[in-house]
Amino acid sequence: MYDTLNWNLIILIAQSLAIIFAGFVLVSVFNRFIRIAEERVQVRKGQLIYIRRFFQIIIYTITVILILWTFDIDVTGVAAGLGVGALIIGFGLKEIIENWVSGLLIISGKTYRIGDMIVVDNLKGIVTDISLRTTKLRTYDRNEIIIPNSTMLKQNIINITSGKDEVIVSIKINIDYYFDVEKAKFLIGSVLRNQSNVVVDDDRRREIRYVVILKDWTVEIETLFWINEPENEEFIKSKITEQIKIKFEEENILPPIPGIIRREYLSRDKQDIIDETM
């Protein structure tokens, strides 16, 4: 009988050690997953520390309950207490937990990374930080916007750059119906090709493209081109627009002209009308 008790005790200890070992293996595997996620998404080390600790607490709690159950200790009250406590905590931390889960889905799905330019709803900016709870965006006017990850996951997200340093942008210029569209396109292209922030490389399909839309006495020319500083998009576009305006004025290409002035313009010398309107 003494040998039987010793043998049963050895079995219980072995089972307990196996449970502890399994718990440590699960924690190690999850920690490795967190490290890989941090590296792939390029977030700062330690950003996911809270979810790591939360998972560790759950595993270690389950491990203790299983060991107690192995030694035939009644754990019903403990489990019930933990269940009620978890339910109360779950309701209290519902939003936080939802953000955590959303953060893990964003990270594991590699929806976007730090440095990407994204569009969320009506917001557009550079991703500056991805934590477990929130994502930070910096807009072109240098405002920082903090968005809960649960909100991010519910919105349609457009990743404009997808890890690259180049992005396609567009500007729209309106000229009067009377003027030569091809000449206007040529002038726009000449301005763009002289900009250091504009990328023109036909081999990589970084070309300048035009969309011409005819309206009442107006021609809208939308120009699409690539730039190499997505975070400064609005400033680059503003500078280019100013230079195109100057170029058009030098070449006597005007914006839409009122009907009365247009008739005079067509019947008299172009330069005389320009001098009168300036």
Please determine, for residue 112, whether its predicted confidence score (pLDDT) is greater than 90: no
What is the DSSP code string of 1-14? -HHHHHHHHHHHHH
- Which of the four pLDDT bands, split at 50, 70 and 90, describes residue 147? confident
**Calpha distance 253→182 (Å, rounded):** 12
Strand partners, 148: 134
Terminus-to-terminus CA distance in the chain, angstroms? 114
Helix (H), strand (E), coil (C) string for 177-220: CCCCHHHHHHHHHHHHHCCCCEECEHHHCECCEEEEEEECCEEE
**pLDDT for res 116:** 86
* Angstrom distance (rounded) from CA 131 to CA 115: 14
Q: CA 118, CA 131: separation in Å to the nearest integer?
A: 16
More confident: 256 or 208: 208
| Mean pLDDT score across all residues of the chain | 76
Query: What are the backbone dihedrals phi and psi of residue 110, each rounded to the nearest 5 degrees, phi first?
Result: 50, 45
More confident call, 31 vs 147: 147
CB within 8 A of 251, min separation 6: which ones?
183, 187
User: Residue 273: its pLDDT value, please?
Assistant: 47
CB atoms within 10 A of CB 184: 22
Summarize pLDDT for 230-248 with one digit per residue, the tens: 888 889 999 999 999 999 9
- Tens of pLDDT, residue by residue over 29-48, are 777 776 766 665 555 555 55
How far from the centroid of its chain's Cα atoms is residue 71's Cα? Answer: 51
pLDDT band at residue 198 under the 50/70/90 scheme: very high
Task: Report the C-alpha dihedral over residues 46, 52, 56, 59, rounded to 10 degrees.
Answer: -160
Provide the 3-class DSSP secondary structure of residue 47: coil
Q: Does residue 192 surpass a pLDDT of 60?
A: yes
Of 26 and 174, more confident: 174
Per-residue pLDDT, averaged over 249-270, amounts to 71
Average pLDDT of span 207-231 = 90
CA distance 75 to 22: 20
Question: Does 170 have pLDDT greater than 80?
Answer: yes
Judged by DSSP in three states, 147 sits in strand
pLDDT for 18: 80
pLDDT for residue 277 is more than 50: no
Cβ-proximal residues to 116 (8 Å cutoff; 6+ apart), any chain: 126, 127, 159, 160, 161, 162, 163
Range from 33-37, 105-109, 182-186, 228-232 that averages highest in pLDDT? 182-186
